[in-house]
């Protein structure tokens, strides 16, 4: 505890939720329990997907971790330190691309630096160019967001989140606004990015195939109050591809999760 | 060798030609309607022999306008423009910072908003004589009356725009640990631009109305004063001529605000569907 070896970060969990609870006051004066006793850890460079019915507190989980919301009980730790506010090592991708319509794609990618420090260094500009190359938007750098499709905009938003090379990537249903074909393509692209630049990822989704394709572990949550129902190890071999979707084990896991998610509905 | 360039040149000429004709159609239709209306008006005046003091014909209005010296017109137009633009400028200078303050502070918004609604609900036309008594002669009371009429839409619309910013962008800003000043300058204010300009377009026409109201109450020149003066002498065609000037000024100012948005914030305009 006092003497930490050099490789301690490799074995210590990067993210830890300690009995986290979150209660919001509702408009009618009652209290809504968004999270109740959520307790789990995520290892370094692990890809964890969170799945559950709507209203199960998935997004709250992400916002607590990002330091945007203080938990009403328990605490969240990043590298052993409690989260008291926004942290440098985090990049966030939201459900919608939320690019700034008055900036070019390149300026949107460097916007976090401009916004935080008031200027963008040439190195950051160059890095933005490399990231746009990586997400396949190199020739759209000078275009405005509304000239791009929804999928392309979301790629730019991913590039924006990756600009400061965050150790931790938080993604809140990032592909849910996209059509099914673009969605599969984006999932594979994200896997590709994650393989090239390993990161600890917390990925909120309501798509079971997406979670299985991407994650090392899947957190299944139940709603009202939001709790962790089960943590599933995804033992599908990597590298994964579209072929993974046809493996028998994939279907086994998918059926299992589906039963977990819908158990209340069908009364199992 | 030369065929690709010529075909490219031709195709671009064709597309710019069709754009020209579209613009022509856009401008031509209202112009035709306007001319038809004038003709109808003129015809009705002549056919039913409507007396000039009830409804002067367009030709009588034009004749009356011609009889007034250009210098006199320029004086009245200049006076009205000055009051309108000063009042308009004041309503922007006060309205936008006030809107920022209201959207940034819930307590302030709760305190001031009802007060603003009270001000807006008060008929300014009724308050105008009181303002003139309080603020005395000169442009000051007129500018203040114009401001009172023009500023409310700017405040309301700007507040709406500042709060229409996607919550995710505000969260992004917070996750970066950026100050609220930067949040407003870099994200919220630009996001409010379409709303602000919608209000600026409404307010410029209100500013002209405000100036005229003020001139009705107390003025020695300006188009509002000139209308009052003309009707008191039963020179109805001349009053109509002044009214036409006012309409023209409003239209031109309205178009100028739109032009400013096109030139400065082209991105904020709605995309034309192809």
Measured between beta carbons, which residues in chain A are less than 8 angstroms from residue B177? 85-86, 116
pLDDT at B18: 59
Mean pLDDT calculated for residue range B50-75? 93
CB contact (8 A) between residue B169 and residue A68: no
Superfamily of domain A8-89+168-266: P-loop containing nucleotide triphosphate hydrolases (3.40.50.300)
Question: Which residues of chain A have a pLDDT value below 70?
Answer: 1-12, 264-268
Distance from CA of A98 to the nearest CA of B (A): 6
Residues of B with CB under 8 A from a CB of A: 166, 168-169, 171-178, 182, 186-187, 190, 193, 265, 267-268, 271
Distance from CA of B56 to the nearest CA of A (A): 50
Tell me, yes or no, if A100 comes closer than 8 A to chain B by beta carbon.
yes
Average pLDDT, chain B: 89
Any idea what DSSP says for residue A266?
A: H
* Closest chain B residue to the Cα of A98, Cα to Cα: B169
Q: Which residue has better confidence, B16 or A99?
A: A99
* Closest chain B residue to the Cα of A88, Cα to Cα: B176
CB contact (8 A) between residue B168 and residue A112: no
**For chain A, first and last CA: distance in Å?**
44
Phi-psi domain of A261 (left: phi exceeds 0; alpha: psi -120 through 50; beta: other): alpha
pLDDT at B136: 85
CB contact (8 A) between residue A96 and residue B268: no
Long-range CB pairs of A237-242, under 8 A, 24+ apart, other chains included:
A239/A191, A239/A195, A240/A191, A240/A213, A240/A214, A241/A188, A242/A184, A242/A188
The pair of structure tokens assigned to B264 is 């400065």
- Residue A19's φ and ψ, nearest 5 degrees, are 45, 50
pLDDT at A234: 93
* Distance from C-alpha of A105 to C-alpha of A109, rounded to nearest angstrom: 6
- Comparing CA positions, the residue from A139, A137, A142 lying closest to residue A157 is A137
Count Cβ atoms below 10 Å from residue B269 Cβ, excluding itself.
13
* Distance from C-alpha of B139 to C-alpha of B250, rounded to nearest angstrom: 20
Count Cβ atoms below 10 Å from residue B160 Cβ, excluding itself.
16
pLDDT at B274: 45
CB contact (8 A) between residue B175 and residue A115: no
Q: Is the dihedral of CA A180, A185, A186, A191 positive or negative?
A: positive
Residue B84 reports pLDDT greater than 60: yes
Count Cβ atoms below 10 Å from residue B48 Cβ, excluding itself.
9
- The secondary element (H helix, E strand) that includes residue A24 is strand A15-25
pLDDT at B21: 66
Tell me, yes or no, if A63 comes closer than 8 A to chain B by beta carbon.
yes
pLDDT at A267: 47
Measured between beta carbons, which residues in chain B are less than 8 angstroms from residue A115? 173, 176, 178, 182, 186-187
How many inter-chain contacts (A to B, CB under 8 Å) are there?
54
Tens of pLDDT, residue by residue over B233-243, are: 999 999 999 99
* Nearest beta carbon to residue A86 from set B177, B193, B268: B177
CB contact (8 A) between residue A98 and residue B166: yes
CB contact (8 A) between residue B265 and residue A100: no
Given the cut 0.90, state whether the ipTM is greater than it. Answer: no
Mean pLDDT calculated for residue range B172-177? 90
The DSSP bridge partners found for residue A203 are A49, A171
Q: What percent of chain B has pLDDT over 90?
A: 75
Distance from CA of A96 to the nearest CA of B (A): 8
Distance from CA of A5 to the nearest CA of B (A): 31
- Comparing CA positions, the residue from A221, A216, A157 lying closest to residue A22 is A221
Tens of pLDDT, residue by residue over B110-139, are: 999 999 999 889 998 899 999 999 998 789
Residue B89 reports pLDDT greater than 80: yes
pLDDT at B20: 60
- Domains of chain A, residue spans: 8-89+168-266, 101-165
């Amino acid at each position: 505890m006092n003497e930490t070896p050099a490789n301690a970060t490799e074995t210590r969990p990067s993210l830890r939720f300690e009995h986290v609870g979150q209660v919001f006051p509702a408009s009618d004066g009652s209290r809504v329990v968004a999270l109740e006793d959520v307790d789990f850890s995520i290892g370094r460079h692990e890809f964890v997907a969170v799945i559950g019915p709507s209203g199960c507190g998935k997004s709250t989980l992400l916002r607590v971790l990002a330091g945007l919301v203080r938990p009403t009980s328990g605490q969240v730790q990043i590298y052993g330190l409690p989260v008291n506010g926004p942290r440098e090592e985090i990049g966030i991708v939201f459900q919608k691309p939320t690019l700034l319509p008055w900036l070019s794609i390149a300026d949107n990618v460097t916007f976090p630096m401009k916004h935080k420090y008031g200027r963008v260094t040439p190195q950051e500009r160059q890095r933005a160019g490399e990231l746009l190359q990586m997400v396949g938007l190199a020739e759209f750098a000078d275009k405005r967001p509304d000239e791009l499709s929804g999928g392309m905009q979301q790629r730019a938003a991913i590039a924006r989140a990756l600009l400061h090379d965050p150790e931790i990537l938080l993604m809140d249903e990032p592909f849910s606004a996209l059509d099914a074909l673009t969605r599969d393509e984006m999932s594979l692209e994200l896997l590709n990015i994650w393989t090239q630049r390993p990161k600890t990822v917390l990925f909120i989704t309501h798509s079971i195939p997406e979670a299985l394709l991407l994650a090392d572990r899947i957190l299944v949550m139940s709603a009202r109050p939001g709790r962790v129902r089960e943590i599933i190890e995804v033992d599908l071999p990597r590298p994964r591809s579209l072929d993974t979707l046809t493996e028998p084990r994939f279907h086994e896991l998918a059926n299992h999760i589906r039963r977990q998610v819908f158990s209340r509905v069908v009364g199992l | 060798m030369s065929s690709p360039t010529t075909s490219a040149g031709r195709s671009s000429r064709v597309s710019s030609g069709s754009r020209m004709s579209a613009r022509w159609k856009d401008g031509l239709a209202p112009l035709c309607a306007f001319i038809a209306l004038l003709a109808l008006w003129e015809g009705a005046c002549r056919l039913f022999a409507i007396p000039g003091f009830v409804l002067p014909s367009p030709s009588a209005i034009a004749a009356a306008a011609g009889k007034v010296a250009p210098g006199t017109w320029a004086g009245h137009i200049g006076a009205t423009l000055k009051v309108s633009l000063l009042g308009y400028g004041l309503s922007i200078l006060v309205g936008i910072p006030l809107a920022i303050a209201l959207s940034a502070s819930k307590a302030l918004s709760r305190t001031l908003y009802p007060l603003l609604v009270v001000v807006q609900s008060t008929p300014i036309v009724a308050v105008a004589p009181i303002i003139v008594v309080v603020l005395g002669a000169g442009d000051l009371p007129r500018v203040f009356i114009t401001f009172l009429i023009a500023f409310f839409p700017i405040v309301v619309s700007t507040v709406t725009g500042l709060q229409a910013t996607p919550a995710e962008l505000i969260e992004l800003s917070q996750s970066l640990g950026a100050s609220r000043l930067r949040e407003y300058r870099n994200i919220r204010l630009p996001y409010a631009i379409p709303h602000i300009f919608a209000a600026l377009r409404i307010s410029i026409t209100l500013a002209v109305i405000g100036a005229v109201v003020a001139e009705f109450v107390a003025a020695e020149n300006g188009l509002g004063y000139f209308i009052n003066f003309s009707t008191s002498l039963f020179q109805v065609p001349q009053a109509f001529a002044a009214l036409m000037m006012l309409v023209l000024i409003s239209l031109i100012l309205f178009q100028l605000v739109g032009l400013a948005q096109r030139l400065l914030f082209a991105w904020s305009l709605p995309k034309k569907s192809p």
